[in-house]
Structure 1
Amino acid sequence: MFGRNTRDEPFEAVHWDEITQFTVGRTMRNTFRKSKRGEGAHAVRSMRMRGGEEYMVPGVYIVPVELSASLAKGGFRLFEDEAGRQLLCTVLPDGSDRYRVKDHADREIGCIRRTPVTKRLTRQGLWMEQPGYPSVVAPRAWARGGPGASLGRGVGHVLDGIVDSLLSFGSDEAGGSGGLKPVVWAAVVEDAGEEADGEYGEAVLTFPRRTDGTRWYFVKRDGWLDKRLAFALAVLRESDTIGADRH
């Protein structure tokens, strides 16, 4: 159904709910030589190791709703199988700052939202809403109280070595000589009163620094965040950042 497969995938697909580390794209193998990387279907892919090398194994397949439009403009569907028979969810813009994420039965899972320009100094460009849970945003380092205070409650070891790297100003992807800038999506503290602007709790999704340029996301194992929202956000972010849907 999806085409563009130039090689057979080396591993069986991973069930989407088992994925905790993932990337978005078509590359099948992380290797220095481009000719050996291989290209498969556009998918959310998890890591498997073989012979000391990283393989990107598809778990969720990405299909645009409108073939002539980018994923961000036309929306997309995520499927559990490459044949496109098992719909996982649909992600559609609603004409505002929202992308509504609905399951196979058209029930709303949540929303991916774009941060207003007026808040881009304190938050990254995309954030998540899931009914019954706090909003999940990615703060920039100069939110009130600094990175230690704003990400201090409930984050734990996930942020070790990451918080200090969030201090430099720039776009979502700006970074110095060290490579990509890490991003952390954390739950907004909702019960701390009006003076708590910039305070965040549990980290549920991270995009850490990788010096080799690979783009991995980490979603918390057995956490409350619906992984379909994490996948939807990552697909939109990769489309915005590197035009992954046009490769």
Structure 2
Amino acid sequence: MAGWEDVRDFTLGNVSRRATRIEFGPNAIRAVQGSNDDRVLEPYAYVGANRSLYLDAELTQLLCRVVPTGDHTWSVQDADTTEIGTITRLPSHRRYLRPNWQITQPGHPEILGRTEWLTGSPARLAAKAGSRLIVSVLDGLTGIGDEGGDQPTKSRTLEWRTPSELVMISSTTITITADWLDRRLPFAYTLLAK
């Protein structure tokens, strides 16, 4: 098993296996491994008290902790209380929009997490709208999601970008695309966003 520094796809939870049989374990940051038919969620960092993460299930080896520093800002610190970076919740100025998020990591540009509908070029947004329209029409024709509402709702997707790069995508799982991102920052974000 590779170390937490190399995790690319992960989620926060206590489910360790999803497909054919559901298995549970301790609440942890879990890397997504395997195929859709036999997906395993391997624990990499275990959730402790007060928004802390540990490398072991016994909660003796601290990986990082999240410490509030303001109304909407948190410092992510390592075991020696050295700051790894900060996470800020940016309240929306519009009544019905959810907040955006910002991550700072020393030595790198700020990372802004915004809903996928607020990022990208006009052509890209038009392509997204077109594909969503096609899916909704097909759903209507096939009856998927008709009365009874047994279809799961789609979680909010955020695209995390610097001015020049897509760094990660978050929805039910987080996918990291930038090698330079300290994994403890998105791990900490999951503790705040849950």
TMscore range, shorter length = 0.7 to 0.9
Secondary structure at 2:31 match in 1:
strand
CA separation of 1:40 and 1:14: change in aligned 2, threshold 3 A? farther
| Structure 1 position 99 matched with structure 2 position 74 | yes
CA separation of 1:14 and 1:42: change in aligned 2, threshold 3 A? farther
Secondary structure at 1:118 match in 2:
coil
| Structure 1 position 19 matched with structure 2 position 7 | yes
Which stretches in structure 1 are left out of the alignment for 5+ residues?
A: 1-12, 66-75, 153-159, 169-175, 190-200, 209-214, 240-247
| Structure 1 position 114 matched with structure 2 position 71 | no
Give 1:218 shift.
Answer: 0.5
CA contact (8 A) 1:23 1:216 kept: yes
In the other structure, the counterpart of 1:45 is 30
In the other structure, the counterpart of 1:245 is none
Name the CA distance, whole Å, in 1 between partners of 2:38 and 2:24.
16
- Superposition pairs of residues 124-203 of structure 1, within 5 angstroms: 124-140=99-115, 143=118, 147-148=120-121, 164=128, 179-187=154-162, 189=163, 201-203=164-166
Secondary structure at 1:56 match in 2:
strand
Taking structure 1 as the reference length, the TM-score comes to 0.60
1:231 equivalent among 183, 187, 193: 187
Q: Which amino acid aligns with 1:129?
A: T
Q: Which amino acid aligns with 2:184?
A: R
Name the CA distance, whole Å, in 2 between partners of 1:203 and 1:51.
25
CA separation of 1:90 and 1:118: change in aligned 2, threshold 3 A? same
Percent identical among aligned pairs is: 26
Q: Deviations over 1:177-230 (max 9, x none)?
A: 88334321001x3xxxxxxxxxxx20111125xxxxxx2110125x22211101
Moved over 4 A (4+): 119-124
Give 1:49 shift.
Answer: 2.2
CA contact (8 A) 1:122 1:140 kept: no
Which stretches in structure 2 are left out of the alignment for 5+ residues?
A: 133-150
Name the CA distance, whole Å, in 1 between partners of 2:94 and 2:104.
17
Secondary structure at 1:17 match in 2:
helix
Name the CA distance, whole Å, in 2 between partners of 1:61 and 1:182.
24
**Superposition CA RMSD, Å:** 3.2
CA separation of 1:119 and 1:14: change in aligned 2, threshold 3 A? farther
Name the CA distance, whole Å, in 1 between partners of 2:152 and 2:58.
42
1:207 equivalent among 167, 170, 175: 170
CA separation of 1:51 and 1:184: change in aligned 2, threshold 3 A? closer
Taking structure 2 as the reference length, the TM-score comes to 0.75
Give 1:122 shift.
Answer: 8.2
CA contact (8 A) 2:5 2:182 kept: no
Q: Deviations over 1:116-160 (max 9, x none)?
A: 2327888843221112221111234665xx6216xx9xxxxxxx9
Secondary structure at 1:230 match in 2:
helix
